[in-house]
Structure 1
Amino acid sequence: MGDQTPCEKLCLGLKKVKPYLAMVSLQFGYAGMYIISMVSFKHGMSHYILATYRHVVATIVIAPFAFVLERKIRPKLTLPIFLRIMVLGFLEPVLDQNLYYLGMKYTSATFASATVNALPAITFLMALIFRLETVNFKKLHSAAKAIGTAVTVTGAMVMTLYKGPIIDFVRSHGAAHHGTSNESGNQHWLTGTLMLLGSCCGWSGFFILQSFTLKKYPAELSLTALICMMGMVEGAAVSLVMERDMSAWKIGFDSRLVAAVYSGVVCSGIAYYVQGMVIRTRGPVFVTSFSPLCMIITAALGLIVLAEQVHLGSIMGAILIVFGLYTVVWGKSKDMINASTLELTDEKTGTQELPIKDTTKLSSINFGNSIEGPDDGMSKIPPKS
């Protein structure tokens, strides 16, 4: 093989960087959603109806692209795949988002985005259970994944159980009205935190099931459209049960409409598609490893736009979560290097062992003997499965 041209090197470099750029861009999108959603809640929008409208918009936007661009490669939709899509439509669009929105209303946008940092640890544990990840404690980088997961969970527990004093980064006078119902506020804070952790479990389950579904249904756009459609149907059913007042469905040209359109296009349509593409090449743990960036962006926006208060427990927990998370990411990066090295080694040895041309009958028989044992004088035909 000759040396690569500068154009080939550039294309190869862009191919390697593309998953990182995609996931970083999504974190900016999620950060904007947290702030816009919080504003719409303050204007009286129901989180059940927001989750439903979000997937109405996502279905309308994604379905035409899926129908046109994947009409030749779209696999047949079988009953097992449809049942998986139904579960996917419930796990993230209904369970995760409603628990998340409720938790964010009880706490704050900054705290909610920080709690999502437990997502990589939960996803890693689920990946271990379903054998998508392995841990070998004899190797440092492999043990680092387990240690980082434990540190991340510890950070999430600190954020849950310890609130601490308010850290006033931007001088505000909002602390005075928090002392009136401190006990009730702490109870809501704990309830909200448990809901946020529950939403992380639902989101992690979504990533794991999505990775399995993509192996059977490798059409990211079509799968995204179907998930959004099922999320719309199931979310509407839940909303009709939980919101009996039909006037709650009315929205005008205000923050509620902006929240539905923005979260539908960016955080459901585009996000499901991009995550699906990256999951196929890097796995679900890689996809969830960028959430600390979202926390930083949201904290800055929440502090400036919403004048939210940051507590010491949130800062301490966030530091532990970020430290543990990047320990996991370091271990994952070493795993990828080792896997690519092993793959290159196998390719080199394979080209030497396999016959390039089937020139003689003897070469085939000798190759079969090298695998299956000494020749017994009869040609060995593999049994039909």
Structure 2
Amino acid sequence: MTISIFAKILLLGLLEPTIDLNLYFTGMKYTTATFASTMCNILPAFAFLMAWALRLEKVNLRKLHSQAKILGTLVTVGGAMLMTLIKGAKLDLPWTKGYDNHGSTSALNTHDDTIKGAFMIGVGCLCWSSFIILQAITLKKYPAELSLTALICLVGSIEGSIFALIMERGNPSAWFIHFDSSLLAAVYSGVICSGVAYYLQGVTMKSKGPVFVTAFNPLSMVIVTILGSFVLSEIVYLGRVIGALAIAIGLYLVLWGKSKDQSPLTSTNDKVAATASEMDTINESFETSNEECVAIDVTKLRPNDESV
């Protein structure tokens, strides 16, 4: 642990657990849950541009695999937007027939509230993208994913508590804990969405990079749509199905581009390592043979040399 690494951990705890979550929840209050989840799908685009600018992602516009990564990112974001903005025809599935779903609606918001909420969610996504990029940079100097996750959660809890004390001063009721769904949501969010998620994305980005991690973010909308259809009997629309297919195609393009992007470098390193290993083996054998030859010559000379 150095001062530089500790400063990065403080900034990591400030970006995601504190600033991003507060802006996201406040922006959702001003808009709707659907609008907030739609805005979060700009994360892969933000992360790709930031990683490109910081040279964490290799992009050569003349190479086909680099073009596939760019196109895959755009298709993934476009598919996620399509899922939420365009409904299309209603699909009458056997397990959703007779179910009148009006969706999750919130109180009507004014135009100014919508713009304010969209701005908050956009800034939150920028902080989230910065968090992922900074985590990838920190892991190069501090390659301990589990310890880094624990430190981020600890620092984020302290910084978030200080921020809440300032914003909720004179309102002690905001700190009351009720044994209901709100407590379950807080525990699940802290353990799974923060602790487990930070660790898994840290392990993945060490070998695949931050862009690879963020490319899977829109896939959550596909999973929510499928689970909502079976568990909550929510109606599925054609636009969501087409958007899900677009997300799958975009993810495949990104994965294909990443595999082609890393394979030449990996194969070259493997060849260099194999050649070096072979040279070491040859040198060791040569040195062993020389020692044996010298030993044999000395034993042959000793009986005939009285001075020896």
Is 1:101 aligned to 2:25, yes or no?
yes
Deviations 1:296-317 (A, max 9, x none): 1223445677788889987777
Deviations 1:19-70 (A, max 9, x none): xxxxxxxxxxxxxxxxxxxxxxxxxxxxxxxxxxxxxxxxxxxxxxxxxxxx
TM-score by length of 2: 0.74
Aligned match of 2:147: 222
Aligned match of 1:292: 218
Secondary structure of the 1:266 match is helix
Identity of aligned residues (%): 50
Deviations 1:74-106 (A, max 9, x none): xxx221111111100011101221222233344
Per-residue deviation, 1:258: 0.7
Looking at structure 1, the residues matched to 226 and 111 of structure 2 have their Cα atoms a distance apart, in angstroms, of: 24
Looking at structure 2, the residues matched to 219 and 296 of structure 1 have their Cα atoms a distance apart, in angstroms, of: 32
Looking at structure 1, the residues matched to 51 and 238 of structure 2 have their Cα atoms a distance apart, in angstroms, of: 32
Taking structure 1 as reference, are residues 173 and 271 closer, same or farther at Cα in structure 2, changes over 3 Å only? closer
Greater mean alpha carbon deviation, residues 273-282 or residues 122-131: 273-282
Aligned match of 1:331: 257
Looking at structure 2, the residues matched to 200 and 321 of structure 1 have their Cα atoms a distance apart, in angstroms, of: 19
Aligned match of 1:251: 177
Per-residue deviation, 1:283: 1.7
Per-residue deviation, 1:267: 1.5
Aligned match of 2:297: none
| Aligned-partner residue type, residue 141 of structure 2 | K
Secondary structure of the 2:18 match is helix
Deviations 1:135-166 (A, max 9, x none): 1122211122223334455567778xx94668
| Aligned-partner residue type, residue 299 of structure 1 | T
Aligned match of 1:26: none
- 1:141/1:331 contact within 8 Å kept: yes
Aligned match of 2:205: 279
Looking at structure 2, the residues matched to 157 and 293 of structure 1 have their Cα atoms a distance apart, in angstroms, of: 12
Within 5 Å, give how 1:39-50 maps onto structure 2.
none
Within 5 Å, give how 1:67-146 maps onto structure 2.
77-146=1-70
The alignment of Structure 1 onto Structure 2 pairs a total of residues equal to 278
Greater mean alpha carbon deviation, residues 333-342 or residues 221-230: 333-342
Secondary structure of the 2:216 match is helix
Secondary structure of the 1:357 match is helix
Is 1:211 aligned to 2:139, yes or no?
no
Which is higher, the Rg of structure 1 or of structure 2? 2
- 1:147/1:327 contact within 8 Å kept: yes
- 1:148/1:325 contact within 8 Å kept: yes
Looking at structure 2, the residues matched to 100 and 280 of structure 1 have their Cα atoms a distance apart, in angstroms, of: 27
Secondary structure of the 2:283 match is coil
When the two chains are superposed, the root-mean-square deviation of aligned CA atoms in Å is 3.6
Deviations 1:256-305 (A, max 9, x none): 11112111111222222222222222221222222233111223445677
| Aligned-partner residue type, residue 144 of structure 2 | A
- 1:152/1:322 contact within 8 Å kept: yes
Deviations 1:168-227 (A, max 9, x none): 66642638x99x95xx46655554444333322211111111111122222222221211
Per-residue deviation, 1:235: 0.8
Q: In structure 2, which of residues 118, 121, 124 is the aligned counterpart of residue 199 of structure 1?
A: 124
Is 1:269 aligned to 2:269, yes or no?
no
Per-residue deviation, 1:241: 2.4
| Aligned-partner residue type, residue 134 of structure 2 | L
Looking at structure 1, the residues matched to 251 and 30 of structure 2 have their Cα atoms a distance apart, in angstroms, of: 25
Per-residue deviation, 1:107: 4.5
Secondary structure of the 2:61 match is coil
Q: In structure 1, which of residues 224, 242, 245 is the aligned counterpart of residue 167 of structure 2?
A: 242
TM-score by length of 1: 0.60
- 2:101/2:234 contact within 8 Å kept: no
| Aligned-partner residue type, residue 24 of structure 2 | Y
